[in-house]
Amino acid sequence: MYRIRLHGRGGQGIKTGSRILGSAFFGAGFEVQDAPVYGAERRGASMAAHVRAARSPIRERGVITRPDLVALADETLLQVPAANVLSGVGPDSVLLLHGNGDAETWRARLAFSGTVVVLPAAGEHAEAELGGARCAGAAARLAGVISRQQLMAAIAQELASLGPSATETTTAQALAAYDAVARHAGVLRESRPAAAVAFAAPEWIDLPLESARIAAPDIFAAATSVEMRTGLWRTMRPEIDYAHCNRCAWICSTLCPDSAIRVLADRSPEIDLEHCKGCMICVSVCPPHAIRALPERAARARELAAAP
């Protein structure tokens, strides 16, 4: 059986990628399960989807805890602990990384004992949004059991409702990825179905019976949401050019849906990068165009370079 976990951010087409991959396996004669993890599927938020494919009926259910392949559409998620990208990987696992850098550096950096395959991302915005489809195309090649035609048929089937132009761009991206990892074809191997006897029970935590005041899910503090670092969702970063900001009447601060722009005592706006989700509303509403949009990746690289 192939156990494949796709990770990425909402908006990158992770769910679509898992469906394409699932249908492609199905077209190649496999039994298939594919499902996204149901949750807050918000643009920019961490997302995962699961694909199982086997030559005989699949009896495993639920999330994949021991993946043969982890396909990661957005390398910045490796810095987000809650995304759990590498959970359950072992020396036989393959990590497909849609990003930059070379495989050996990633292996060393992540202390990853399995195989790393890098699918180069050109870093352009449009391409990033098709990360899910690109991962699906590459994963199909890594398994080595899916033909180009089967991949194309799966895309046509899954995207039928979105019209011909969506199908066309997705197919182009998925096929480019399929070709880009050609020399790793077959690196992903089928693993054995897990035997029930090998099941290790999770480490349950026994909670004592508490009074409702403690045990009920009541929140007694104000605005605890600030503990959630939604700034990690961002793919683009707003940056204020204070030389051009005319300290208007805090238009950006009022129109930021996330309360992520504060107005200081001297009437200057200040962006809270811990929480800014990168919607870029402030960029489009600032009357003198004093806020510009910067790819988050570039902004982080600049910060790293500036750090002592």
Q: Which of 79, 246, 259, 268 forms a contact with other proteins (CB under 8 A)?
A: 259
Q: Which of 65, 160, 246, 270 forms a contact with ligand SF4 (CB under 6 A)?
A: 246
Q: Which amino acid is at 153?
A: A
Under the binding rule (CB under 8 A), the answer on residue 14 touching other proteins is no
- The structure tokens 């077209």 sit at 27
Partner whose footprint covers residue 167, from other proteins, ligand SF4, none (CB < 5 to 8 Å by kind): none
Under the binding rule (CB under 8 A), the answer on residue 253 touching other proteins is yes
Maximum Cα–Cα distance for the chain, whole Å?
69
DSSP state of 63: S
Under the binding rule (CB under 8 A), the answer on residue 43 touching other proteins is yes
Question: Within 208-237, which residues bind other proteins (CB under 8 A)?
Answer: 217, 219, 222-230, 233-234
Question: Within 287-306, which residues bind ligand SF4 (CB under 6 A)?
Answer: 287-288, 290-291
Under the binding rule (CB under 6 A), the answer on residue 232 touching ligand SF4 is no
CA dist list (Å): 6 to 13, 20, 69, 251, 277: 10, 12, 8, 39, 22
Distance CA 142, CA 71 (A): 11
CA dist list (Å): 142 to 12, 59, 95, 193: 20, 24, 11, 20
Query: Roughly what angle, to the nearest 10 degrees, separates helices 131-143 and 148-158?
Result: 150
- Cα distance from N-terminal residue to C-terminal residue, the chain: 48
- The structure tokens 């496999």 sit at 30
Output the smallest distance, CB 226 to other proteins, in A.
Answer: 5
Look at the alpha carbons of 20, 21, 24, 25 in this order and tell me if their dihedral is positive or negative.
negative
Partner whose footprint covers residue 84, from ligand SF4, other proteins, none (CB < 5 to 8 Å by kind): none
Q: Binding-site residue total for ligand SF4 (CB under 6 A)?
A: 27
- Number of Cβ within a 10 Å radius of residue 229: 12
Output the smallest distance, CB 166 to ligand SF4, in A.
Answer: 20
Partner whose footprint covers residue 259, from other proteins, ligand SF4, none (CB < 5 to 8 Å by kind): other proteins
Output the smallest distance, CB 85 to other proteins, in A.
Answer: 20
Per CB under 6 A, residues contacting ligand SF4 are 238, 240, 245-248, 250-252, 256, 258, 260-261, 269, 271, 276-282, 286-288, 290-291
Per CB under 8 A, residues contacting other proteins are 10-11, 40, 42-45, 161, 163-165, 217, 219, 222-230, 233-234, 248-251, 253-260, 262-263, 272, 274-275, 277-281, 283-285, 293
